[in-house]
């Protein structure tokens, strides 16, 4: 069990936080510093201006991911805001570096406005090789994800939609295989109509038109049938909602 004091000591000891930026090229001598900055950096700048794809050869962009949140749906805590979301963001950055050697800049945006969020991330595209959205409340997070997928020319992922939900769908698939039952014959109830619940539902029902015995319940006892598909997740999340009276046996 991880205890509170142990966790606070881990995060606050020595240098606060969990991540830092380190140089990947030698930069000890005066000549190396001049190569790294002025006048040396001007030459790759010229090369990239002439050929935009050269940015992946001369900079770290291809291995640099932005993990972006507004802290409106932090696991186990809810809407704690962008500052309080930062420890979780740094933790994901460590996982990327430790497991895949991918560098991460965590970005915490102080806005609940979906338009401002989307525009901010869009303007950041030139600096990153990919965008990962994390811990943004539904349905706004679903809408932001779909809009950015249509706007950006780099990969966009939603961590809650495409990681937790995939793992949960895989667990269900394995469980059904053990009892020799097809997904279309299973009666499935998902508790939680947030991003993970909606994403799991999409994974389960995708390419399975026969799947109908599936219900998704949220905090207001909203139940959705099994028709959800990839595309327009946020819109369908709102439109297909059916409120179940509290006295009804579900």
CB-based burial label for 143 (10 Å; 0-12, 13-18, 19+): buried
Bridge-based pairing of strands 214-217 and 222-224 is antiparallel
Cα dihedral 22, 25, 30, 33 sign:
negative
How far does the chain reach from its first CA to its final CA, in angstroms?
A: 35
Is the CB of residue 197 less than 8 Å from the CB of residue 216? yes
pLDDT in tens, 97-106: 999 999 999 9
CB-based burial label for 19 (10 Å; 0-12, 13-18, 19+): middle
Mention every residue, 6+ apart, whose C-beta is less than 8 A from residue 24.
60
Using only C-alpha atoms, the chain has a radius of gyration, in whole angstroms, of: 22
pTM, 2 dp: 0.81
Of 204, 63, 83, nearest to 130 by C-alpha is 63
* DSSP track, 26-46: ---SHHHHHHHSTTTTHHHHH
pLDDT in tens, 136-166: 998 889 899 999 999 999 999 998 888 888 8
Domains, the chain, with CATH or none: 60-154 (3.40.50.10380), 162-243 (no CATH)
Of 170, 123, 174, 129, nearest to 151 by C-alpha is 123
Token pair listed for 69: 């949140």
Token pair listed for 46: 């010229």
CA distance readout (Å), 89 to 18, 80, 123, 133: 10, 13, 20, 10
Those residues of the chain that have pLDDT short of 70 are: 206-212, 218-250
Element holding 158 (H helix, E strand): strand 156-158
**Location of structure tokens 């560098």:** 103
CA distance readout (Å), 100 to 19, 42, 92, 93, 109: 15, 31, 12, 10, 25
């Amino acid at each position: 069990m991880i205890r509170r004091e142990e966790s606070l000591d881990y995060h606050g000891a020595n240098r606060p936080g969990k991540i830092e930026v380190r140089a990947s090229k030698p930069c000890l001598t005066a000549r190396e510093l001049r190569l790294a900055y002025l006048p040396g950096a001007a030459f790759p700048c010229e090369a990239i201006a002439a050929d935009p794809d050269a940015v992946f050869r001369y900079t770290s962009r291809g291995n640099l991911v932005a993990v972006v949140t507004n802290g409106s749906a932090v696991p186990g805590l809810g809407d704690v805001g962008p500052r309080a979301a930062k420890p979780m963001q740094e933790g994901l950055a460590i996982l990327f570096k430790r497991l895949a050697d991918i560098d991460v800049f965590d970005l915490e945006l102080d806005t609940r406005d979906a338009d401002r969020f989307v525009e901010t991330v869009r303007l950041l595209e030139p600096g990153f090789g990919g965008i990962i959205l994390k811990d943004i409340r539904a349905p706004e997070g679903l809408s932001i994800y779909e809009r950015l997928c249509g706007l950006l020319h780099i990969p966009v992922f939603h961590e809650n939609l495409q990681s937790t939900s995939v793992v949960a769908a895989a667990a269900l698939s394995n469980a059904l295989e053990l009892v020799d039952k097809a997904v279309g014959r299973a009666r499935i109830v998902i508790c939680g109509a947030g991003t993970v619940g909606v994403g799991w539902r999409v994974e389960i029902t995708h390419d399975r038109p026969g799947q109908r015995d599936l219900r998704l319940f949220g905090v207001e006892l909203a139940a959705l049938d099994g028709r959800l598909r990839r595309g327009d997740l946020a819109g369908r999340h709102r439109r297909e909602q059916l409120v179940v009276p509290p006295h009804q046996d579900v």
